[in-house]
Structure 1
Amino acid sequence: MGRESSINPNYKIMAYLTANEGREVSGSPLFLKLKDDEELKETTGEIAKALKADVVKLKNNDYMIIQI
């Protein structure tokens, strides 16, 4: 929101994970729907570790895995 539109982000979204049944995401990152918050946390951590990536928890309780 505070970035200029001409500046490219210095990260890549690798995956988007949610436990929200109604959430739909389109685009290139991997998108996973998990059954509950516990499975969501565990799976997010495991994928991030395997990809040597960082995790961002969003306000809506979804997670993004990003590589810088």
Structure 2
Amino acid sequence: MLRVDPRQRTRLEQIIRNLGERTDEARTNGWQGEVEGLKVSLHAAQNKLATLDRAARNTPRPAPLGMPSIPPKTP
């Protein structure tokens, strides 16, 4: 399975919208076979988006450690 680059999230959202529009068009025109194929593609794209969101939630964030302080030398 290919991993989706998180920077491509907006593109994946566009693809999902487009697949929805194409599914509606196919339904309107009575292209039942096309509707079924588009539904499979739409479901796969939605799953990829969910996987991307899940990975983003589970990615550990670096903890802010702050700047270390070095005590001054005593003569």
Please classify the TM superposition score into its range, dividing by the shorter chain length: 0.3 to 0.5
Greater strand content = 1
Larger relative contact order (Cα-Cα within 8 Å, sequence gap ≥ 6): 1
TM-score by length of 2: 0.30
Using the size of structure 1 for normalisation, the TM-score is 0.32
Instruction: Name the one with the larger helix percent.
Output: 2
- Structure number with greater Rg is 2
